[in-house]
Amino acid sequence: MKLADLTRRAGEWLRGAGPMHDVVISSRIRLARNLAGMPFLSRCGESQQRELEQRLRDQILASNIAPVLFYVPMEKASPLDRELLVERHLVSRQHADASHPRGVVISEDETIAIMVNEEDHLRMQVLRSGLQLEDTVEEINRIDDTLEQQLDFAFHRRYGYLTACPTNVGTGLRVSVMLHLPALKMTGEIEKLFRAVRDMRLMIRGLYGEGTDAHGDFFQISNQTTLGKSEHEIIHEFREQIIPRFLDFERRAREALVRNHANALDDKIYRASAVLHAARLIGSEETMYLLSLVRLGIHLGRLKDMDVKTVNELFLLTQPSHLQKILNAELDGDARAQARASFIRGRLGGR
Amino acid sequence: MKKCDKCGKPATVHVTEVVGGEKLEKHLCEDCAANEGVTMKAEIPISQLLEDFILQNSSGPEPAEAACDVCGMTFREFRKQGQLGCPNDYEAFEKALVPMLRRAHEGATEHVGKVPLHAGQETKKHNAILRLRAELKAAIADEQYERAAAIRDQIKEYEGL
């Protein structure tokens, strides 16, 4: 299993399937864990970091958490490969850019990714397509149980699982649901959502995590509170209250657009499709913006000759590192814009 | 090729909006399109939240020079870098951390979730190992390799228990 093998297809989370996939792109849960009897990473010297890396890598690879697991040592990975992992949501931006001994264990289907020596000794994530929080939490719990048989995690009776940053202490659990909200963005109602998110003590981010812009109308909603609620309560709240509310909000905005502005909406959607089919030079942000409109058009039944899976894949495969990896060439901005346009036309059967 | 309405660079993003029946065309380059809200700024990044969270609490009851006797980290260092040094810091800085936790976690200061199989009865042992690890690090830094080897054996013995 090599990283290059990954670029042939989109990851699990962009399969475009799963419950509520017209709005919910993916469900992700991560747990933060640290070994007892070891300092947190910021306090580890390089030799301790290497010891941790080796020990955790060996334990995870020897476990039976997935049929096929492979390890990517980040220090040895090329800058392009590190970017590729960020684009596929398998490592954080912080993990890609750091320089200390660290890595990531990935399952063959990419539903499991365990970062070793990120901010905490372990950051394990399970990623699923659509809204599948129950399955996702069960799976991450199973992985945690399995690893715990061999590893002693730092735990405190009062404060729970101990993490390097007190904002993650307790369950160490962060649930992130990625939503596609083009109608709310178009109607400006997204501001209401931002306010609701603040009131509900949630976090909202763009497609690529901390501090990133929300490209192409994608938003990740996550919990901030990790202490004082059980894992079950956090997930239940997301599944029963938070996500249905945002889902309903977006669907209503979509219905209203069709009802009141069908012509203007179709104009946007068909123009987006036309540009993607015919452009000769296209940047990644414009691509995201147009693909988002096309995705909306497909789910509203207004674009019938395009397939949602192809569109979902294009979101990922047109990202800079993916494009270069697929074409097996290092390309600068202008060359990329040309290669991207040609790649999209190829996939869409454009002119 | 059209030029960007904002900066005059070649425009690659062409937006047609219908506002109150009026057709409005915008031609933008990739960068200006981002600034124009074709893409959108995310909410406050978590690093910012964290910084605020620590700053708000910087006049907490814990003196800045309070130090963890296991890893040696001071409260001032924690405030500066935003990350704790070892599991024992949660006890060493408890007085200052509890109000922080309350603010960060909707008033909660106690864990009610999952408990690991072998839960925290071995804190003493873990702290002893942590202390030994700190000694080991210092011994290696001082090139006292015999001492380092002896400490390593002690750690192994503890971990084997």
| Residue-wise pLDDT tens digits, A287-330 | 999 999 999 999 999 998 888 889 999 988 998 899 998 888 88
- What is the Rg, in whole angstroms, of the alpha carbon atoms belonging to chain B? 27
Strand partners, B74: B67
Q: Identify the residue among A97, A138, A213, A286 best suited for mutation to test binding to B, counting B beta carbons within 10 A and taking the highest.
A: A286
A216: contact with B, CB 8 A cutoff: yes
Q: What confidence tens digit (pLDDT) does each residue in A247-292 have?
A: 999 999 999 999 999 999 999 999 999 999 999 999 988 999 999 9
Q: Is the pLDDT of residue B104 over 70?
A: yes
SS3 A218: strand
DSSP H helices, A149-205, are 182-187, 190-199
How many CB atoms neighbour CB A292 within 10 A?
Answer: 22
A157 interfacial to chain B (CB closer than 8 Å): yes
Q: Which residues contact A302 (CB under 8 A, 6 or more apart)?
A: A265, A266, A269
Strands (E), chain A: 24-33, 69-73, 103-107, 112-116, 122-129, 155-156, 160-161, 173-180, 202-205, 218-223
Token pair recorded at residue B141: 């830094």
Q: Is A187 on the interface with B (CB under 8 A)?
A: no
Which region among A15-19, A120-124, B80-84 has the lowest average model confidence (pLDDT)?
A: A15-19
pLDDT digits (tens, 9 = 90+) for B14-24: 666 655 556 66
- Whether the complex's predicted ipTM is more than 0.95 is answered with no
pLDDT of A2 strictly over 50 = yes
Task: Give chain B's mean pLDDT.
Answer: 77
More confident residue, A4 or B72: B72
Q: Which of A34-38, A70-74, B9-13, B109-113 has the lowest mean pLDDT?
A: B9-13
Contact A314, A287 (CB under 8 A): yes
CA-based nearest residue to A174, from A48, A35, A27: A27
- Distance CA(A322)–CA(A317), nearest Å, equals 5
Q: What are the backbone dihedrals phi and psi of residue A45, each rounded to the nearest 5 degrees, phi first?
A: -80, 175
Q: What percent of chain A has pLDDT over 70?
A: 95
State how far residue A2 is from chain B, nearest Cα, in angstroms: 33
When pLDDT is averaged across residues B100-112 and rounded to a whole number, the result is 92
Q: Do A167 and B46 lie within an 8 Å CB cutoff?
A: yes
- Give B72's contacts (C-beta < 8 A, 6+ positions apart): B85, B134
**Nearest-angstrom CA–CA distance, A240 and A230:** 15
- Per the CB < 8 Å rule, is A48 touching B137? yes
Residues 6+ apart with CB under 8 A from A70: A1, A105, A106, A108
For the segment B133-152, the average pLDDT, to the nearest whole number, is: 87
pLDDT single digits (tens) A134-152: 999 999 999 999 999 999 9
Contact A285 B42 (CB under 8 A): no
Residue at token pair 């070649």: B10
d(Cα A334, Cα A319) in Å, to the nearest integer? 14
CA distance B30 to B12: 6
CB-based contact, A171 to chain B, within 8 Å: yes
Looking at residue A143, its pLDDT comes to 97
**Predicted local distance difference test score (pLDDT) of residue B106:** 92
Look at residue B13 and tell me whether its pLDDT is greater than 60. yes
A225 touches chain B (CB under 8 A): yes
